Structure formats: structure tokens, C-alpha cells
Structure 1
Amino acid sequence: MTGNLIEQKIRHFFIEDMVKDNVRNAASTDELDLDSLDQTELRVFLDEDFGIKFSELPDIDPFTTIEEIVEFIQKHSRIETV
């Protein structure tokens, strides 16, 4: 899966599951106004859709940009994300 496809999937999650309509043009998660519950929902999504087990990773700061989320997935995903 390419970085572009990962980004599309993330944006779809924000729009459909988290009802964050402003994600269409947002580059940073600050623009999305993600609180700690939103960050938790995002991590559950990353676990379910990309096989990322946060319990096996060191403490991770909240994500600050959509690009950062894509890079994180490419680095830690248990599925093929090339």
C-alpha cells in the first residue's frame, strides 16, 4: 500500500468515523482539533486496520500531522504498506 493510499484511508477514517469534515484540506492534526479521546480512537483504528500494536511500542507522543501518521504506519505496520 502506497503512502498516498494510506493517507486516503486515514482521511476517510477522520471524515466517516470521527466526523471531522475539515480533514479534507487539513495538514496537521491541530487543524482537526483532536482531543485525547480522538487520539485513542485513532490508535484503535491503526491497530485494527494496520496491525499496529501500541502495547509493543515505546510511549508515543500524540500525532501532530497526517504525514506523521502515514510515516508511522509505514514504519510500524504489520501489513504490506510499500
Structure 2
Amino acid sequence: MQAARPLSHLVARNAGVLSRAYHGPSNFRVYTMNDMPVPEGDFFEEHRRKNRVYNTVLAAGIVIFGITFTVAKESGLIFFNYNPPKSLD
């Protein structure tokens, strides 16, 4: 019974910290579709421009990967075990 008393005192003391007591802001405003941004410009032109950048980054990544892979393979860092080694040494 004595162990329960300090525990109940601890819970009662920290109850304020554990409760949230949340309330919304006083100047809350419900947004409608009229508050949404209006698209400007040609969608397809913007899509084409962004896609050109993405494709350039993709092509650069593929080229860099190919160069890195070739250098690693030719330098002997990677051995793919296509066939058994020429000697056991």
C-alpha cells in the first residue's frame, strides 16, 4: 500500500503534463476552393521543360555508372566469376 501512494502522487503531479488541452486558434478560417492557387501558363510546356531536366540527369547517371563500372572491372577490383580462375594460387 505504501508503494502505491508515491506512485499515485507522481501521477497526480504529472497529470497536467500528460493532458493536451488543445484548442484551435481563435482566428481559424475555413478554406474553400476559391482560396486555392490558380494555375498559370501552359502545363505541357512546363512538363516538357521539367522532363528534359530529369532525362538529362538520368542520362548523366547512366554514363557515370558505366564509366565507374568499366574502370572498376578493368582495374581488377571486381571479379565476376564467369569461369574458374586460371590457377589456384
TM bin, normalised by shorter chain, reads under 0.3
Q: TM-score scaled to structure 1, two decimals? A: 0.23
Higher relative contact order (CA 8 A, sep 6+): 1
Question: Which one has a bigger Cα radius of gyration?
Answer: 2
